[in-house]
Structure 1
Amino acid sequence: MTPPATPPATPPAVPPLPLPTADREGCERLAADLRAAGFTADGVRSAWGADNDDAVGRGVRGPALGVLGDRDDALAVLARLLVLGMPQDEASVAAALPRTGVAGLCALGLATTDGTRVAPTALIRPQSYAVGTGDGHWWIASDLDEAALAGPLPEDHVLGVGGASFTLAELQLPTPAARALDLGTGCGIQALRAREHVAEVVATDVSERGLAFARLNAALNGVTGIDARAGSLFAPVAGERFDRVISNPPFVITPRRTGVPAYEYRDGGMIGDALVASVIRDVGEHLVPGGVAQMLGNWETRDGVPGLERVREWVDTSPVPVDAWVVERERTDPLAYAELWIRDGGTVPGTREFDRLLDAWLEDFAARGVTGIGFGYVLLRRPAGGDAPTLARYETVTQPLPQGGLGAHLAEALAAHDRLADMDDAAVAASVLRVSGDVTEVRHHRPGEEDPTVIELRQGGGFARSLSVDPALAALVGACDGDLAVGALIDAIAQLLEVDAGALRADLLPRVRELLFTGFLGFAPDAEGGPR
């Protein structure tokens, strides 16, 4: 006789935490205290060491606590309280926050006190990031994580800054614009990043907790010009258009069944990858001509149709035709994907609850014929002046990328594409080019042979691409020093290689266009500093 199934354990109820309050004066006092304590990313990292700091990012607190020992200086107290989420003695907290005080911290909704111990109700983590003029810095408040809660996350959890958040922040175009939309703002990091280049940002989310943290983080970092609005997807901005749309949407594919947690920060409530498809199809109507949307997403390889091809179908069915540049960075199988996101919610592998959730995920994927899940970056642009789209690029880029500068690379690639779209081959041949400063050449030789068997061009910035090229293209790139036009260089190379110059032009000019788009080559400046 089969024993009755054991119902899933009900996790203990987590008492509701207070909403943070974006009182500007209180945030200014707290920022001054954090600054005076040296509560920065570098300060905290140096306090307990780089390796231990990385462990904290993975939810392992023990080594960092061991290094801090019984230190009671302001940085140590605040690191325990606000980074690790551990209660601290009230007198120590009061000394660490002389302007804010314990009462001020509680008034901001960031802690509670029983008169002896101060218990955090949120985390504040210092974050450093690369910007065009140097290093930037934020303090980002978010909900207590699973280490601080000692258990699974509540479904209305507001996530702090993770790897995906930093990725999208670095992808944002660093060029000026008037209005931007941060769709699904969460703790508000994308809105903060956008405000560095955009005059006004509208930040939307279905989560009232997320909006409260976004308002707090803006005030804590002294940032104005962010309008936080509640609502799903584009509903809060119906009829409005923007120069930029940035979105790290809740793209995680989650089974739609009872007993599977639906975390607001990652689950959009739709089946499979339908939420990402919806945003891609609808965003064009909210862009001004020339406006750009940038987002992250997951997409399924389903019934034999590769994920990137399904994304192409979504773009093609947009009511507003758009340029598209989609980069798939990772591809994983259903089992690994399910394990990743079940662990992300705080459920421990090897437990009955973990196995129950894993079965639900795998059954959900099997029902739709899903054999793989891709993750990547989506850039869409509404052509200016009602023009037809000219960019449709769908590619897989899996190599590690250098830190910083990717947003600038995207902006330069778009500018190169637009210039090339108006140039025929004769105009490209008449252009004077220069090899980019981050490009190197590697030649591989068989022992004892003079001629290389493989010639590679490698890019240090951008997408860190590596290309195998033939001797003719290698010679052309090597000769692009801002002096002679491309056509003249090709003619000289043809004579050197004893091949037909016309045929060599027909072969090399399309590849020159690709090298200009990907950043291996650039247009050389004229005498006044403008591109020739």
Structure 2
Amino acid sequence: MSTPPAPVVVPELVDALRADLAAAAYGVEHVDDLLGEVAVGALGRGEALPALRATAPGTAAGGDPAAVLARAFLLGEPVSAAALAAALPRTGVEGARRLGLVDGTPVGDVRAVVDLRPYAATDGAGEAAWWIASDLGELVTGAALRTDHVLGVGGASLTLAQATVRDPRERVLDLGTGCGVQALHASRHAAHVVATDLSPRALAFARFTTALAGLGPDRVSLREGSMLEPVAGETFDLVVSNPPFVITPRGADVPAYDYRDGGRSGDDLVRDLVTGVGDVLAPGGVAQLLANWEVRDGEEWHERIGAWVDASGLDAWVVLRDQQDPAQYAETWIRDGGTTPADRATWHARYGAWLDDLASRDVASVGFGVVTLRRPVTGRPTLRRLEQQTGPVRQPLGPVLAAGLAAHDAVTALPDDALADLRLTVAPDVTEERYLQPGAADPRVVLLRQGGGFGRAVQAGTALAAFVGACDGELTAGQIVGALGALLDVPAGDVAADVLPTVRGLLTDGLLLLP
């Protein structure tokens, strides 16, 4: 398939387009209202017909400028030049054509050649909304993706955006920027963002997307190149990356997509990024990336990636979010490229290639997770946390991870006598659950449950439950331990030995708060 041209930045026309999109209320909330709940749900399942009907000319919503824009740029339907000109009065049809957004003439119908959609999300810095340009997807083209396809905002992109720490940073690197969405998020809390990608086409879309957001080269600079090569010798306070982490068979019968395939064997790309990203991190700098890694026969999920973080020399917090067996993994990524079981010969050939490739390295499963790395200010790592959290979480996770890093630093530096002097409080989202057999006076199980973040549940014994229940900021930890010793008729030292190690974990996990 031929590659359509990418959008181009014509400053005065980009400014006009931004004003037109805002005036048309072309945003997520308004478009969803126009489409209706049923059509929005169907679009999420890859079905466009209800949305096409909702935005058709002559319907109640069809004349709304945002409906015209949605019909053109979300659904890929031809719209009349007159309707598009009315929806984009400052830009005009000719201006949209010069920007590389549509194909057609000011007379008759015009058709979008790129996907231009509203985007809204909540990250650690609060709510954000922009417009994102990317290639038209399968829903519009009705064909498998081209290998140079520039993906819009997918589930992985949103996961990374919500998991990223958002405290102020001087310099941020967005490695593998794609359409530029991570650079947009980073621009809200960074003085300058460097966005890189191996694909010139992706950089063209990122340039357009960031320009449409009003961000010039003084705020977001774009560089072409592989991995860390474009920034060799530089350092950053934050690195974010949704890299091409998909483990793909190497062969002529399996297409390699720019947005997801890094051209390396197995999970080598992720390994190299985990072990090498420290070279561009300033002291105290954080790197956060999404990753797939192989779990070989006879290994636990954390062993392979654990060896990489050990080799990195960095603080590390790895959260496994999903794990798939080889068949599940193959099915996920074959479908992602647009091949379906209906194309029986192609499906079987690619399915077999994936299974053979994974079997050649004795891969039992593939893990997916969020990796947070940090260059220790002291030069020696103190954090090595690899945990499995495959259940639902409350987004955004960025503030949770940032608070966890800060709490780890504080707790690690805190001796027991200093901990005993602190007045701790219970986090406001923590509740206590008690489970009793009918007629029993005492509970069999007491759980401390976190309402936000990872939603952790900690089983508590009598002493720990009582300790946490008394943490209201009035008494010190030492005073609570002493009172519990008298109440339970055991030495206070025994209570401290039983409770304080777990208290440190509760502080790190955010169930208890330092003053």
Shorter-chain TM range is over 0.9
**Secondary structure of the structure 1 residue equivalent to 2:474:** strand
Matched, 1:271 2:271: no
Q: Is 1:135 the counterpart of 2:127 in the alignment?
A: yes
Task: Provide the residue aligned with 1:295 in structure 2.
Answer: 289
More deviation, 126-135/359-368: 126-135
Residue 251 of structure 1: aligned partner:
245
After superposition, residues 129-528 of structure 1 pair within 5 angstroms as 129-131=121-123, 134-224=126-216, 225-318=219-312, 321-351=313-343, 352-386=345-379, 388-404=380-396, 406-524=397-515
Measured in 1, the distance between the counterparts of 2:386 and 2:258 equals 29
SS at match of 1:216: helix
Question: Aligned partners of 2:204 and 2:232: how far apart in 1?
Answer: 22
Q: How far 1:22 moved relative to its partner? A: 2.2
- Distance in 1 (CA, whole Å) between partners of 2:507 and 2:14 is 46
Counterpart-to-counterpart distance in 2, 1:372 and 1:494: 48
Distance 1:52 1:203 in 2: 35
Shift of 1:132: 5.3
Letter in 1 for 2:113: T
- Give yes or no for the alignment of 1:41 onto 2:41: no
Distance (whole Å) between structure 1 residues aligned to residue 446 and residue 185 of structure 2: 39
Counterpart CA distance in 1 for 2:261 and 2:300 is: 22
Give the number of equivalent residue pairs. 507
1:63-102 matches, within 5 Å, as 63-70=50-57, 71-102=62-93
Query: In 2, Cα distance between the equivalents of 1:229 and 1:96?
Result: 34
Q: Which runs of 4+ in 1 moved over 3 A?
A: 131-134
Are residues 1:26 and 2:18 paired?
no
Contact 2:138 2:145 in 1 (8 A): yes
Displacement after TM superposition at 1:54 (Å) = 3.2
CA distance in 2: counterparts of 1:138 and 1:354, whole angstroms: 37
Q: Is 2:112 the counterpart of 1:120?
A: yes
Structure-1 separation of matches of 2:348 and 2:78 = 33
Contact 1:23-1:219 within 8 A present in 2 as well = no
CA shift, 1:228, in A, is 0.5
Whether the 8 Å CA contact 2:486–2:492 is kept in 1: the answer is: yes
Match of 1:294, as an amino acid? Q
Q: Higher mean Cα deviation, 66-75 or 42-51?
A: 66-75
User: What TM-score results when the alignment is normalised by the length of structure 1?
Assistant: 0.93
Secondary structure at the aligned position of 2:116 is classed as: strand
> Partners in 2 of 1:308 and 1:26 — Cα distance?
50
Structure 1 residue 385: Cα displacement: 3.8
Q: Measure how far apart 1:394 and its partner are.
A: 0.5
Q: Partners of 1:481 and 1:331 in 2: how far apart? A: 40
User: Once the two structures are aligned, what percentage of the paired residues are identical?
Assistant: 51
What 5-or-longer segments of structure 1 have no aligned partner?
1-13, 525-532
Summarize the alignment of residues 102-113 of structure 1 with structure 2, pairs less than 5 Å apart: 102-113=93-104
1:193, distance to aligned residue in structure 2 (A): 0.6
- Tell me what 1:56 maps to: 43
Segments of structure 2 that go 5 or more residues without pairing to the other structure are none
Please give the per-residue CA displacement for 1:145-203, whole angstroms capped at 9, x wherever unaligned: 01111110000000000111111111111111110110100001111111111111110
